[in-house]
Chains A and B, each alone.
Chain A
């Protein structure tokens, strides 16, 4: 054993005895790194973002003036175009969330309660595999499928129908497709935690299947649905590449992107919108009891 190791051991022993009996310091040392990262990397940059929303741009030099002005916030309220962009973004996000919840629940329920062990594993892989391929590849494939000589039009043609083409419907379709796994997984995890005995008990007490679903399964899995909806809702709210590739419409993210380099304050003010929307969403979710069983 070398002398160096002796020193190391001495140090670790000294550290150990230092922390012994000081639980607060233990917790502090453990959390200093991650918490500092969270505070500086996430909350800190968020704070700067919030502050930048109240700065303005000097019209002549194009440089950012670091004073307090409500100019940008006023622009957001006064210009009808921003209201319609926010309205469009929130509406699509809500639609995508609803669609994904409706699609994901049966899949998750089957995975959690009905499938065999093997089937469960296979389904889990099936849900996860799409996440392995690049987001861009998936959106560009949809772009090809939705084009006017694409496969969707081709399939619908014999029935005298047309595909949706590019536009809001396309964005809704593509986003619903993209974020479905983020809805399936939390619901699956939530349903998995409901003991089968509760379902049996409900049946023994004479509840019809739908009553069991409504009175037992749904309330218990609701927090999981809300957890999934937070993913789908916020991911849709922040995306700007899909709208760009499969529609001509602007979403909040597109306008932020357009303004980020020559009008940072306005971009920051726009970035406040999804934050406010998300906070409102979470408050509503709490009102509905989403966090009571967590």
Chain B
């Protein structure tokens, strides 16, 4: 049976009307960005709760429950999967703070989404490792914008049964001639920020490009790094994005050499897999150095619970708590005194927490911006990095 024309036509009119309404709403959406807030002058009473955005494993009951009991601030946590997601969530203005990596912090400061931190209200800040303070990814215009949480380095890891002799340079996976030997067995990080790894390599191997900071690349330097990764592409067995995926690939022999976090390296060692990373004689890193990350708790410029947020920032670097946090996640603690409190006695040594010489060779993730830091606007911004990453993977 055919439906009479009238009701159908009415339905279409209704839909068309609603669509028009949606178009109208879409057209007038969006508002101006707010300017950054002021730092808190003095600490008041807790507001009873605090809303956080964090990496998985950063806000866990083991240290949240005692915090809630001590301060009366109930913790509501939202786990974000990527730096991009964190930036987006913070822009909603519904959160008090975020554990931002260096590739998000500049974006948050530029967007006026976070406020500077009055570190005199965070007593534990005094004993944070000094090489974590006053860094380009957590300090802007001379003002600290956050409390360091912990840090890690991207290591070169290989299967010691398969990869001989032991590599001392990233060339084993980035120089096409050498990478060819491990075709299909190379494991690379699946993120646009991996372009910085190529830039670190080129800094040593093509000095004529004049790369200084792997996150501030002009067009020529950037194209060279992208070109290098395109040459590497046919040899890559797997791009990994989560730790578990890489661990399984190394355990079952799908990958034999790749870039990794300390966490996966130790996890595989514990499983008895024959994996190795750069030894002490090489400063634990390939000769070019490596990229890494250092995370920072930042406070929203629209924080509705600033006192609780300050209490949280102080709590997370409490020696005992920071030790727990670092061991739970598998990264180096930010708090000097934490090393005395780790359950595993040589934890800090394993993760090089107290070795400034190690971290000097680590280029912490930063947000690539058009601003090269020297007044020129010729650098490739993050958007270009994302486009290039798409074309690298093909």
Contacts and interface: CB of A to CB of B under 8 A. Distances in A.
Interface of A: 24, 27-28, 31, 35-36, 38-40, 43-44, 47-48, 51-52, 57, 59-64, 66, 75, 79, 81-82, 84-85, 143-144, 147-150, 165-166, 244-245, 248-250, 255, 258-263
A64 B239 contact: no
A149 B252 contact: yes
Contacts of A244: 241
B7 A27 contact: yes
Contact of A261 (B88, B245, B381): B88
Query: Interface size bucket, B side?
Result: 35 or more
A85 B389 CA distance: 13
Given A44-B19, A51-B26, A259 B239 contact: no
Given A61-B110, A148-B254, A35 B394 contact: no
A44 B370 contact: no
A40 B22 contact: yes
Contacts of A148: 252-254
Contacts of A258: 192, 386, 389-390
A48 B22 contact: yes
Contacts of A165: 184
Contact of A248 (B11, B110, B239, B252): B239
A166 B241 CA distance: 16
Contacts of A84: 394
A73 to B, nearest CB: 15
Contact of B15 (A43, A52, A260): A43
Contact of A39 (B15, B184, B386, B389): B15
A248 B254 contact: no
Contacts of A48: 22, 26
Contacts of B393: 248-250
Interface string B380-394: 011100110111011
B23 interface: yes
Nearest to B110: A61
Interface of B: 7, 10-11, 14-15, 18-19, 21-23, 26-27, 29-30, 33, 82, 84-85, 87-88, 107, 110-111, 184, 192, 236-239, 241, 245, 248-249, 252-254, 370, 377, 381-383, 386-387, 389-391, 393-394
A147 B18 contact: no
The dominant DSSP class at the A interface is helix
B7 A66 contact: no
B23 A51 contact: yes
Contacts of A28: 10
30 contacts: A39-B14, A39-B15, A40-B22, A43-B15, A43-B22, A44-B19, A47-B22, A48-B22, A48-B26, A51-B23, A62-B110, A62-B382, A63-B111, A66-B27, A66-B29, A82-B390, A84-B394, A144-B252, A147-B252, A148-B254, A149-B252, A149-B253, A165-B184, A248-B238, A248-B239, A259-B386, A260-B84, A261-B85, A261-B87, A262-B382
B238 A250 contact: no
A265 to B, nearest CB: 11
Contacts of B386: 258-259, 262-263
A165 B249 CA distance: 12
Contacts of A51: 23, 26-27
Nearest to A264: B88
Contact of A255 (B15, B239, B390): B390
Contact of B383 (A44, A52, A263): A263
B391 A47 contact: no
Contact of B238 (A59, A166, A260): A166
A147 B26 CA distance: 46
B29 A250 contact: no
Contact of B236 (A81, A150, A248): A248
Kindly name the residue among A39, A51, A63, A82 whose own CB sees the greatest number of chain B CB atoms within 10 A.
A39
Nearest to B238: A248
A82 B252 CA distance: 33
A62 B394 contact: no
A251 to B, nearest CB: 11
Contacts of A166: 237-238, 254
Contact of A79 (B11, B237, B391): B391
A148 B251 CA distance: 11
Nearest to B82: A261
Nearest to A81: B391
A59 B14 contact: no
A61 B110 CA distance: 8
Contacts of B383: 57, 59, 62, 262-263
Instruction: Please list the 7 inter-chain residue pairs (A to B) with the smallest Cβ-Cβ separation, ordered nearest first.
Output: A261-B84, A44-B22, A39-B18, A81-B391, A147-B252, A48-B26, A47-B22
Contacts of A52: 26
Given A258-B389, A261-B88, A40 B252 contact: no
Contacts of A147: 248-249, 252-254
Contacts of B82: 261
B390 A81 contact: yes
A44 B29 contact: no
A163 B322 CA distance: 46
A231 B263 CA distance: 41
A28 to B, nearest CB: 8
A39 B17 CA distance: 9
A284 to B, nearest CB: 24
Nearest to A23: B7
Nearest to B11: A35
A62 B241 contact: no
Nearest to A255: B390
Nearest to A248: B239
Contacts of A262: 84, 87, 382-383, 386
A258 B382 CA distance: 12
Nearest to A246: B238
Contacts of B26: 47-48, 51-52
Contacts of A263: 383, 386
A250 B14 CA distance: 39
